[in-house]
Chain A
Amino acid sequence: MTTTDNFNDGATATVDTDIVLDVQDLSVTFSSEDGPLKAVRGVSYRVRRGEALGIVGESGSGKSVTSMAIMGLLPKSASVSGSARVLGQEVIGLNDAQISKVRGDKIAMIFQDPLTSLNPVYTIGYQIAEAVLTHRKVTKQEARKRAVDLLDKVGIPHPDRRVDQYPHELSGGMRQRVVIAIAMANDPDVIIADEPTTALDVTVQAQVLEALEAARKETGAALVLITHDLGVVAGHVDRVAVMYAGRLVETGSVEDVFYRPRMPYALGLLGSLPRMDEARHERLTPILGTPPSLLDLPAGCGFAPRCPMAQEVCHTSEPALEAAVDGEDDDPFRRHSAACHFSERLVDARPEDLFRTTALDAEAPAELAEAEDTGAAAERRQEEAEAEPGEVLLSAIDLVKNFPIRSKGILRRKIGEVQAVSGISLELREHETLALVGESGCGKSTTARLLLQLIRQTSGEVTYMGQPLHSLSDSQMRPLRRDLQLVFQDPFASLDPRMTVSDIVAEPMQIHGRGKGAKKRVKELLELVGLNPEHGSRYPHEFSGGQRQRIGIARALSLNPKVLILDEPVSALDVSIQAGVINLLEDLQDELGLSYLFVSHDLSVVRHIADRVAVMYLGKIVETGTTEELFDAPAHPYTQALISAIPLPDPVKERTRERIVVTGDVPSPADPPSGCRFRTRCPKFAGELTDEQRNLCVEEPPELLDRGTGHRDACHYSQVVELI
């Protein structure tokens, strides 16, 4: 077992006043068909040598555009004003040749998608060497040596062999490390990382963040970490800047911003985040509304339309970014600042005080009593669940699904099998939420589709209320589909763009011959999911992501189903929107008595919403139990690693918590390891077990059993560890 503690301490002690990146009043405007689009407005910040600054914000807040402007990577249609100095040298307005000398040498950038930021036709060694050769007068041999050296530093095993490989031979996490190696090739003074881990799985994310940390230590570079993930920010930066509608709305040390936010938006963002370190009864407090259109910004504070504290002045004048606490520090770039007219009112405010009560005020005041009820209702529900498990609705026994791999060419012979799901048994009971958790490619979505019989199993059984589904034909299955409905991950792809919202929601009713009262029912459903029923004649593209997901839920509810299978229903949504959808799902379950199978990779959301959890790895369930059991006493090393890898949005906890780190990437499901499938990455297998004990892991696949922990796990040597 590896424990790493705070690997950030070196940076916090920086006293060097040497400013490496100085951004002053930077604004970016794009010209568009509908008028000027103000993507960034008057952003100023400074980064000192070795310091790490986190820029957080939701999609469209301008956080990426800011860094693209500094790097000179914006298209010609963008007009950039203001100044950005790298080591005192102005970079805004440089021509391409001039900025190329700075780019990659003094300032380097890491992009989100490691798939597209490497050139597939060159070896990774060539690509790293190229970065060196562009800016340094060295021989090719020296550059290659440097490449091997760098690969080693970012934690790539066998760098001397890897250096001659092509990007497609490396996994996503490896590729992102190569990108980091390229970024540090010339010992830059600033590294800008734009969502460097968003495309990666959590366990790989942890590894890449560590590589990034190593790169910083090695080069002594300052880091600008752009992300939407408050957890990543909490653990890896010294100072935070929160962006909203193209402006910085709050800056300060991580502790200040996370523990003492002085801008309602920052407070609301923290309140809308489901947390893995909190039990589920707490209802999330979403922020109302959606971010303003950058084409048509409000006259006053950009957040005012969504702000529960907004007063007259907020709608007319835009607050400047000013010191939130008097006399603390004179340097405007170090002190805790917030752009709010009433920031002093937020002292000791909690998100639920501010956002929940206003949400109710906007409605009828009589509802207050009911709101207080929800906490109690959740508790009651939990008691019920514990007291008597409901009837089993949907169950799977030994479900197996193998996808054939076929050769190219005319014959298309079968040359192998992807073992997507390898023997899964689970039960979904009445009125409960079962979460299926795992990283990408573990087979959780395939399992969901097998349960619905949208794809057919290779072997195994699926039953719904005692009736076997696996032997039914498509037409026999059709009437049962009324009870089993699916909600999709992508709110953009799952709605037919050519149909109006009413038609989309009414479609299941028409299919099942209930078209008669459909019009009225559609209005009821839209109201039920919190949409304006008058908007039924609009098309999906006219709605925001959160609203579209509500349409998808309304469609799934139209036939009064008993079971909803939710396939990553909130992972495509921004934090403040996600909270609203989670609350909706909880309310609907209480009201309509639904059962949910909740497929997700996000343990924080799962902790918040699920009654029971099953953790999947490479097509098998490795651990299952109630949410409390699993999070409080995880027994399988994979569950432990997964919990460790989820960043907590709490700077102190995040930096001091015990971690169980896994190495490497998930093996290919076409050729899974023998015995225990997790053994190739298992910290226990690698570090604690004797050779004799290891034999058992290699030879015998562990059964899913209760090994004295009160819940079942599939590890020969399981042992409870407390992690939160």
Chain B
Amino acid sequence: MSEMQSRIAMDDGSSDGPAAPVNRGGDLTQVQLIWRRFRRHRAAMASLVLLGLIVAFAFLGPLVWQWGHTVDSNIPSNAGPSLEHPFGTTKQGNDVFAQTMRGAQQSLKVALTVAVVSTVVGATWGAVAGYYRGRTDAIMMRIADIFLIIPLIVAVASINGAVRGGTTWYAVALIMCLFSWATVARVVRGVVLSLREQEFIEAARAAGARATRIIFRHLLPNAAGPIIVAATLLIAVAVLTEAGLSFIGFGIQPPDISLGKMVEGARTAAFTRPWLFYPPGVLIVLICLTINFIGDGLRDALDPRQTMVRR
């Protein structure tokens, strides 16, 4: 039998393997392979390092910095940048450097929570609707539509009114999740609708795979590209929405602070005292950009067909 096998093996040269220059996987695990492909994406790697620095700045910074983010009687009001206060101080007497660290921390926590929760919920919701189609799809997507058409601001205002008493960062984050998962669900449903018609899905069904296996093993991994794009967009939107909510008084409340709130507070000072405005503003831009690049890199790394390296 083995002789016959080896003869079969010769038939179409299967033994010499692929001709195209590809990464020789060897015995690497999936995760190692993905990491290897990710590392080749320069912009993503640079972004990962930069985001790491921002995270360290936001979470470790406050532990070593001499000032807190709250008003301190030892802090002069309206001071310009100095060694003591690198980003100056506010009128009330806050150290802006400390505020930036605290704000970045709060904004990151809100944005990441929104991204993770909305993506997981939305992707699953959309995949289930797209896989089953028909009535299931119609009902599930109408529910999603309801969350899409209610303006976030109105909803937050009324919910906040109901649960009065201290808006913490996770309350803000969860409320934002409630109104952002539906966009992800719509995107994923569209992708799944076309994916489910592919032969490999039928192959899995023919092998006896259940719906959960097909959805989580086949459909969602193949929809990874659009899902990651949607998730990275969500992060950027979450940072900005949080700023907007803070502005109308429903986001994170003083004495706590977020990047959005800082920008909002310093917007009139942008030309007169730019040190108040630019640090949080630039940080918002950096967070959004780095996460977008990381998302790009991740999308490519997760796609085994991607052999080209983007620079």
Contact = CB atoms under 8 A, between A and B. Distances in A.
Contacts of A306: 13
Given A488-B199, A498-B222, A33 B25 contact: no
Task: Report which residue of B1, B26, B28, B207 has the largest number of chain A beta carbons within 10 angstroms of its beta carbon.
Answer: B207
B14 A546 contact: yes
Interface string A305-345: 01000000000000000000000000000000000000000
B52 interface: no
Contacts, number: 167
A591 B13 contact: no
A452 B46 CA distance: 52
Given A454-B202, A497-B222, A531-B14, A539 B208 contact: no
Interface string A534-577: 01011101111011001010010001000000000000000011
Contacts of B304: 497-498, 539, 541
Interface residues of B, number: 49
B55 to A, nearest CB: 29
Interface string B267-311: 000000000000000000000000000000000001111001000
Nearest to B22: A542
Contact of A529 (B8, B202, B210): B8
B200 A493 contact: yes
Contacts of A531: 9, 14-15
Nearest to A567: B199
B19 A292 contact: yes
Interface stretch (A73-81, A235-243, A395-403, A505-513): A505-513
Nearest to A527: B5
Contacts of A583: 8, 11
B305 A481 contact: no
B16 A528 contact: no
Interface string A286-305: 10111011001000000000
A94 interface: no
B237 interface: no
Interface in B2-29: 3-22, 25-28
Given A288-B13, A490-B199, A507-B207, A530 B28 contact: no
A500 B305 CA distance: 11
Nearest to B27: A537
A497 B18 CA distance: 15
B213 A293 contact: no
B7 to A, nearest CB: 6
A494 interface: yes
A164 interface: no
Interface residues of A, number: 72
B310 to A, nearest CB: 11
B7 A493 contact: no
B45 interface: no
B8 A363 contact: no
Given A488-B202, A587-B4, A530 B9 contact: yes
Interface in A490-535: 490, 493-500, 507-508, 511-512, 527-532, 535
A546 B12 contact: yes
B36 interface: no
22 contacts: A288-B11, A289-B16, A296-B19, A363-B3, A363-B6, A363-B10, A370-B4, A371-B7, A485-B206, A486-B202, A493-B199, A497-B303, A498-B303, A511-B213, A527-B5, A530-B5, A531-B9, A535-B17, A537-B28, A547-B12, A581-B11, A584-B8
Interface of A: 33-34, 286, 288-290, 292-293, 296, 306, 359-360, 362-364, 366-367, 370-371, 452, 454, 477-479, 481-482, 485-486, 488-490, 493-500, 507-508, 511-512, 527-532, 535, 537-539, 541-544, 546-547, 550, 552, 555, 559, 576-577, 579-581, 583-584, 587, 591
